[in-house]
């Protein structure tokens, strides 16, 4: 296994762990601080990956390309790394199933007056933070331009899921009849399915 392949695997696994934690319910304690900590970890890992693949953390070599704000990798390794990106992004996509289930369960409990506002708000907030973390982790993977089209739909679905999860919180807080919250819950469910569909590479 090449150094580049090992570096990608190491960084990807660390991103997955950082994005999703240990799966523990952190209701009531999840805040935007979690996102800031994740971004800091991503930046550190990006620098480590740059060093492993290019020997530098500042210069972009002529043999490299950059996609968005992601870390650069030598384009010659794109074909070799495709199975790794497939595996990592599929694993990230699988994490959204639990988020969708938690959002649906919390929304249903609120609808049936079986949960308090505080408890529902805590779950929605945690889902929001976790969805954003997954979206960031996927977006920060150093995907070469040759593979961009392959993953474009999945990265878009991750972003839409994060946006929809954020709307869960604002919908619950809105002084309406629940229309915004219900619409957000429906979007979360749809985008969870979209993420799963987009992660079926073939």
pLDDT digits (tens, 9 = 90+) for 148-202: 888 899 999 999 999 999 999 999 999 999 999 999 999 999 999 999 999 887 5
Average pLDDT over residues 20-43: 51
| Dist. CA 71–CA 16, nearest whole Å | 16
CB-based contact 32:133 (threshold 8 Å)? no
Residue 83: is its pLDDT beyond 70?
Answer: yes
Q: Tell me which residue of 102, 100, 89 sits closest to 153, measured CA to CA.
A: 89
CB-based contact 184:174 (threshold 8 Å)? no
What pLDDT does residue 161 have? 96
pLDDT digits (tens, 9 = 90+) for 3-20: 444 555 555 555 555 554
Average pLDDT, the chain: 74
What pLDDT does residue 143 have? 77
Regarding predicted confidence, which is higher, 182 or 29? 182
pLDDT digits (tens, 9 = 90+) for 102-151: 999 999 999 999 999 999 999 999 999 989 988 988 887 777 787 788 88
What pLDDT does residue 61 have? 31
CATH code assigned to 3-198: 1.20.1420
What pLDDT does residue 39 have? 59
C-alpha dihedral sign at 183, 188, 189, 193:
positive
What pLDDT does residue 43 have? 62
pLDDT digits (tens, 9 = 90+) for 42-70: 566 556 555 555 555 543 333 343 434 44
Residues 6+ apart with CB under 8 A from 23: 98
pTM over 0.75: no
What pLDDT does residue 57 have? 52
| Dist. CA 106–CA 112, nearest whole Å | 10
- Per-domain residue ranges of the chain: 3-198
DSSP string, the chain: --HHHHHHHHHHHHHHHHHHTTS---TTT--HHHHHHHHHHHHHHHHHHHHHHHS-SSPPPTTEE--TTSPPEEGGGHHHHHHHHHHHHHHHHHTHHHHHHHHHHHHHHHHTT-S-HHHHHHHHHHHHHHHHHHHHHHHHS---GGGHHHHHHHHHHHHHHHHHHHHHHHHHHSSSSSHHHHHHHHHHHHHHHHHHHHT---
């Amino acid at each position: 296994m090449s150094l580049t392949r090992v570096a990608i695997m190491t960084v990807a696994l660390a991103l997955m762990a950082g994005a999703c934690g240990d799966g523990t319910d952190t209701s009531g304690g999840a805040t935007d601080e979690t996102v800031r900590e994740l971004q800091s970890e991503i930046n550190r890992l990006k620098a480590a990956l740059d060093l492993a693949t290019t020997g530098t953390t500042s210069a972009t070599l002529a043999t490299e390309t950059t996609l968005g704000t992601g870390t650069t990798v030598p384009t010659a390794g794109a074909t070799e790394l495709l199975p790794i990106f497939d595996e990592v992004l599929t694993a990230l996509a699988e994490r959204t199933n639990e988020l969708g289930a938690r959002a649906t369960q919390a929304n249903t409990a609120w609808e049936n007056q079986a949960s308090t506002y505080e408890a529902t708000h805590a779950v929605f907030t945690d889902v929001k933070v976790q969805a954003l973390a997954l979206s960031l982790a996927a977006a920060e993977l150093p995907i070469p331009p040759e593979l961009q089209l392959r993953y474009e739909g999945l990265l878009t679905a991750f972003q839409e899921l994060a946006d929809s999860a954020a709307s869960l919180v604002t919908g619950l807080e809105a002084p309406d009849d629940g229309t915004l919250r219900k619409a957000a819950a429906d979007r979360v469910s749809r985008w969870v399915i979209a993420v799963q569909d987009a992660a079926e590479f073939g």
